[in-house]
A and B are shown apart, each in its own frame.
Chain A
């Protein structure tokens, strides 16, 4: 019996229907496995990176030394902590003095991640878990060259000499720094001897914290009432770096692709299982005839499916795991590996869960129905067929939708995906029903060949509708994926054009502005707009003071001085979302108080977190002056570009009321070190912020995520092509039988060819037209609502939509 069982199922592998079904099972499992592992890894990475970019799970930032009360609270809640101090000052070595960002660290720093240092060879990086010893200093490599110093030299920080021990490659919270000057790291104990930190010095104190979620929550609650207005508590996941924002959009695309592939796999699996089990009906009917019971047949098929299907699912799980590892390895350093011990367990659990889920929803109902095939079917094959209940399929799809929910964990995203899919389905059905209705009125007036074709389509209305729906969905889904992918990559490319500014110049005074512009012109350097800036604080909205910081989800706008600017034109990459840009901003001075009344444009996230609406009056304090500004527009800014961005912009007409400095950005080729040195020595008062390392990191990330989403798209495309060809093939075989009858009754082969071509071309034209409309709506909606990107018309998709008719007609004759 076992021998026969193995023979039967082994030989089944030779059947195309069985092979297609097993391949579909393999693909479904590959999708589930690849999707889930990728999501877990991306989420892990985002959380981990968020913490690394911040330097801890929580970061308390304060312009004054931390109170003993807060330190006591840290101990009480059992949190791990490290403290750092950051400030800008001059480092000197012999004649050279360079404005540097000094970071004093305690012995607990870094709490998360490692500090990467090296001596002479940058490829020989050493990762350490502790900062410099007392008397030592670690410098960024460019600082060493700017100071004309060497390792082991002693350089002066304030009044203290420190020995250069290592060169600093990277540190966990580097990208989060507020400054971009060359950095140096010292032991915090040395700072008191430098004499640099005095009362009133502009110093930022940081307390980095890690702990369990409960500990952190408890600390947040307890510390909130103790915080001063100038102290800010930042959570890792709310403090998003540019890299994280890119990864977030990428992971959204991964979710989207994964979900689509799961649905497509579900559809394919449904058809392939149905097709395979249909091929078994005559045999099962015969066995029922000979007296073999439903129970025995159910057992027989279940065991066979457990063996073959189980193997496919296992292989799919492993392949999906590999695919996820390979796909995400493209992101290299941005996605560290999952813990070695986590992955295998996760795969086993996932495999077990998915295996049961797929069996219960997609296979068992079909087997049950197959084994119910009545024996009488042997004698009356046309009249008695087992009915494959579509409700099982809906249940199966429902189960499949559970997978992304369990993995993504965000009900919002999953509901959005399912809602989007159902909406697309509903629109497709409505549109196609309308089209068929129109066709049913028109076709009696057409050429006899078309009359015949349409009569066939109308006669098999449900089947035609299902075919049209599948083709429409496949085309529109692929079109949407292509559009989003293209827009994402285009946005990334436009964020980093070839001459992306790699230096910010700040603290440009009124006097140095003109000479700087002349200097730039003479040295063929382009300044990317010079923005006047003043520091100011928002203190009132509609005459009422701002609420306690805990009332706001995003505290960036509170307790902190903003860089405000003045401009009559909307800066590049800014888009007005609400209201209008000030055209004739009314400016008036209040005669009693030094109050300026004007308009203001605010960045959208800040506006949302403060609950601002167009028409609100915002009160800012700048030096001794008050600005009362009516909110006239809410803007989106592209934080991923390397242009100066501002939370608040006022009309240029009021800028002369303030003592302001300017800031700009500039591109200096990496190879051109003389221009940088010359610029620095010509304008010693200007702070030059070097962001080229950040830019190169982001450029590499763009390149890798682009490769990832291109790969994902290609995978989805291949997958949908597979579905498409199998449907065309199955239907072509079905209609072939029908056309053979026509051949028998004497219709010439050329006419039959034309009929077949016509039938598929009409299906193609109808679904192509529907797909163009649906993909346009869905791409537009997704880009705007989910990815925050503009939609651009893609002619190639319209051409494919139009050409789909002839393509399908051709494929019906050559179904591969």
Chain B
């Protein structure tokens, strides 16, 4: 079970304009709390800092001010390797781009990250037969078991995203970060994907953090936050 506390978080980058370095504020003084098994939507216009906030919460990036407490553990105090290990233990991701390996089948795309994580013992050790069985189960749950041997190029956008979701849930993550998971899909397919995510959330009791433009998706979440020019409005 994971909870996340964001305290006075800020992110600033330096940009060069006509040879002059100008600071650009992306996020400023953001604070909120996500409890275990919550579903949270972070919304905002393009360039409002949604993805940056997600990356800071997941420990992919470090803030310039404030901190993120991941199960009371200050991510600022961890090294890059320690943050990676922490992600491997508790988190999973679904992105707008599906990030599937084009030359691996649906089943192999699910299995490979899992196998690599098992290998470095971030996850409890299981046999490859067990891992395969779990992959098949999760594929079944997303309704793509019959397509297990298909390559990404043989699947539709919605099917590819379902594979990406299956890949995320096979890790049984305590928290799932989803960055515009329906951004590349039509409305109908998008709705199916959202149903799937919420269905898996209720089954596995994972925390869900969405970054989205999708109003319909946000209304289904326990908490909604609106980002505007780097500032948070709940």
Question: Chain A: residues with CB nearer than 8 A to chain B?
Answer: 1, 3-4, 7-8, 11-12, 14-15, 282-283, 286-297, 300, 374-376, 378-380
Q: Could you jot down 10 A-B contacts, CB within 8 Å?
A: A4-B112, A4-B128, A8-B108, A8-B112, A290-B113, A292-B117, A293-B120, A296-B120, A376-B61, A379-B51
Known A-B contacts A287-B116, A293-B120, A380-B51; A14 and B103 likewise in contact (beta carbons under 8 Å): yes
Residue ID in chain A nearest B112 by CB atoms: A4
Residue ID in chain B nearest A287 by CB atoms: B113
Give residues 48-88 of B contacting A (CB, 8 Å).
51-52, 54-55, 58, 60-61, 80-81, 84-88
What's the least CB distance linking B132 to chain A, in Å?
A: 9
Interface string of B109-130 (1 = CB under 8 A from A): 0011101111110100000100
Known A-B contacts A4-B111, A296-B119; A291 and B128 likewise in contact (beta carbons under 8 Å): no
The number of chain B residues touching the other chain, given as a range, is 35 or more
Residue ID in chain A nearest B86 by CB atoms: A291
Contact across chains for A374 and B120 when beta carbons are under 8 A apart: no
Contact across chains for B89 and A379 when beta carbons are under 8 A apart: no
What's the least CB distance linking B50 to chain A, in Å?
A: 10
B93 within 8 A of A: yes
**Complex Cα spacing A8 to B55, Å:** 28
**Complex Cα spacing A555 to B128, Å:** 78
**Complex Cα spacing A290 to B93, Å:** 7
Taking A289-B60, A376-B55, A380-B55 as known contacts, 10 extra A-B pairs with beta carbons closer than 8 A to each other, sorted by chain A number, are A4-B111, A290-B93, A291-B85, A292-B113, A293-B81, A293-B85, A297-B116, A376-B61, A379-B55, A379-B60
**Complex Cα spacing A289 to B60, Å:** 7
B33 within 8 A of A: no
Contact across chains for A291 and B84 when beta carbons are under 8 A apart: yes
Q: B93 contacts which chain A residues (CB < 8 A)?
A: 286, 289-290, 378
**Complex Cα spacing A300 to B128, Å:** 17
**Complex Cα spacing A459 to B171, Å:** 46
Residue ID in chain A nearest B98 by CB atoms: A286
Q: A1 contacts which chain B residues (CB < 8 A)?
A: 115, 118-119, 128
**Complex Cα spacing A283 to B152, Å:** 14
Residue ID in chain B nearest A381 by CB atoms: B97
Q: A295 contacts which chain B residues (CB < 8 A)?
A: 120
B99 within 8 A of A: yes
Residue ID in chain A nearest B91 by CB atoms: A291
Q: B52 contacts which chain A residues (CB < 8 A)?
A: 379
Q: B117 is contacted by which of A12, A290, A375, A376 (Cβ under 8 Å)?
A: A290
Q: B84 contacts which chain A residues (CB < 8 A)?
A: 288, 291-294, 375
| Complex A-B, nearest 4 residue pairs according to Cβ-Cβ distance, in ascending order | A291-B88, A11-B103, A291-B87, A286-B99
Contact across chains for B103 and A292 when beta carbons are under 8 A apart: no
B1 within 8 A of A: no
Q: A300 contacts which chain B residues (CB < 8 A)?
A: 116
**Complex Cα spacing A297 to B81, Å:** 12
What's the least CB distance linking A121 to chain B, in Å?
A: 65
Interface majority SS (helix, strand, loop, mixed), chain B: helix
Q: B171 is contacted by which of A8, A288, A290, A375 (Cβ under 8 Å)?
A: A290
B104 within 8 A of A: yes
**Complex Cα spacing A4 to B108, Å:** 7
Q: A282 contacts which chain B residues (CB < 8 A)?
A: 97, 99
Q: B85 contacts which chain A residues (CB < 8 A)?
A: 291, 293
Q: A288 contacts which chain B residues (CB < 8 A)?
A: 84
Q: B115 contacts which chain A residues (CB < 8 A)?
A: 1, 4
Contact across chains for A289 and B58 when beta carbons are under 8 A apart: yes
Contact across chains for A293 and B88 when beta carbons are under 8 A apart: yes
Question: Chain B: residues with CB nearer than 8 A to chain A?
Answer: 51-52, 54-55, 58, 60-61, 80-81, 84-89, 91-93, 95, 97, 99, 101, 103-104, 108, 111-113, 115-120, 122, 128, 171, 179
**Complex Cα spacing A380 to B55, Å:** 10
Q: A289 contacts which chain B residues (CB < 8 A)?
A: 58, 60, 87, 93
**Complex Cα spacing A287 to B100, Å:** 11
Q: A374 contacts which chain B residues (CB < 8 A)?
A: 60-61, 80
**Complex Cα spacing A345 to B52, Å:** 58
**Complex Cα spacing A282 to B171, Å:** 20
**Complex Cα spacing A294 to B88, Å:** 12
Choose among A1, A287, A289 the residue with the greatest number of B CB atoms under 10 Å from its CB: A289
Q: B61 contacts which chain A residues (CB < 8 A)?
A: 374, 376
Residue ID in chain A nearest B81 by CB atoms: A293
Residue ID in chain A nearest B80 by CB atoms: A374
**Complex Cα spacing A291 to B118, Å:** 11
What's the least CB distance linking B104 to chain A, in Å?
A: 6
Known A-B contacts A4-B111, A292-B120, A296-B116; A378 and B99 likewise in contact (beta carbons under 8 Å): yes
Q: B103 contacts which chain A residues (CB < 8 A)?
A: 8, 11-12, 14-15
Contact across chains for A379 and B54 when beta carbons are under 8 A apart: yes
**Complex Cα spacing A8 to B61, Å:** 29
What's the least CB distance linking B38 to chain A, in Å?
A: 21
What's the least CB distance linking B106 to chain A, in Å?
A: 13
Q: A14 contacts which chain B residues (CB < 8 A)?
A: 103
What's the least CB distance linking A709 to chain B, in Å?
A: 43
Contact across chains for B88 and A292 when beta carbons are under 8 A apart: yes
What's the least CB distance linking B26 to chain A, in Å?
A: 11
**Complex Cα spacing A44 to B3, Å:** 75
Known A-B contacts A1-B128, A375-B84; A7 and B116 likewise in contact (beta carbons under 8 Å): no
What's the least CB distance linking A17 to chain B, in Å?
A: 11
What's the least CB distance linking B111 to chain A, in Å?
A: 6
**Complex Cα spacing A503 to B103, Å:** 72
**Complex Cα spacing A295 to B118, Å:** 14
What's the least CB distance linking B98 to chain A, in Å?
A: 10
What's the least CB distance linking A741 to chain B, in Å?
A: 19
Residue ID in chain B nearest A288 by CB atoms: B84
Q: B88 contacts which chain A residues (CB < 8 A)?
A: 290-293
Contact across chains for A8 and B104 when beta carbons are under 8 A apart: yes
**Complex Cα spacing A380 to B26, Å:** 13
What's the least CB distance linking A639 to chain B, in Å?
A: 62
Residue ID in chain B nearest A300 by CB atoms: B116
Q: A4 contacts which chain B residues (CB < 8 A)?
A: 108, 111-112, 115, 128
Q: B179 contacts which chain A residues (CB < 8 A)?
A: 379
Q: A8 contacts which chain B residues (CB < 8 A)?
A: 101, 103-104, 108, 112
Contact across chains for A7 and B60 when beta carbons are under 8 A apart: no
Q: B86 contacts which chain A residues (CB < 8 A)?
A: 291
Q: A15 contacts which chain B residues (CB < 8 A)?
A: 103
Known A-B contacts A14-B103, A290-B88, A292-B117; A3 and B60 likewise in contact (beta carbons under 8 Å): no
**Complex Cα spacing A118 to B92, Å:** 86
Residue ID in chain B nearest A3 by CB atoms: B128
Contact across chains for B60 and A375 when beta carbons are under 8 A apart: yes
Q: A12 contacts which chain B residues (CB < 8 A)?
A: 103
What's the least CB distance linking B172 to chain A, in Å?
A: 13
**Complex Cα spacing A288 to B99, Å:** 12
Choose among A288, A376, A380 the residue with the greatest number of B CB atoms under 10 Å from its CB: A376
Q: A379 contacts which chain B residues (CB < 8 A)?
A: 51-52, 54-55, 60, 95, 179
What's the least CB distance linking B156 to chain A, in Å?
A: 20
**Complex Cα spacing A730 to B192, Å:** 39
Residue ID in chain B nearest A294 by CB atoms: B81
**Complex Cα spacing A375 to B88, Å:** 12
**Complex Cα spacing A718 to B95, Å:** 44
Choose among A8, A294, A295 the residue with the greatest number of B CB atoms under 10 Å from its CB: A8
Residue ID in chain A nearest B59 by CB atoms: A375
Q: B87 contacts which chain A residues (CB < 8 A)?
A: 289-291, 375
Q: A292 is contacted by which of B55, B101, B111, B116 (Cβ under 8 Å)?
A: B116
Choose among A4, A290, A293, A376 the residue with the greatest number of B CB atoms under 10 Å from its CB: A290
Q: B91 contacts which chain A residues (CB < 8 A)?
A: 290-291
What's the least CB distance linking B99 to chain A, in Å?
A: 4
Residue ID in chain A nearest B87 by CB atoms: A291
**Complex Cα spacing A289 to B91, Å:** 9
Residue ID in chain B nearest A286 by CB atoms: B99
What's the least CB distance linking A26 to chain B, in Å?
A: 21
Q: B81 contacts which chain A residues (CB < 8 A)?
A: 293-294
Q: A297 contacts which chain B residues (CB < 8 A)?
A: 116
**Complex Cα spacing A401 to B54, Å:** 49
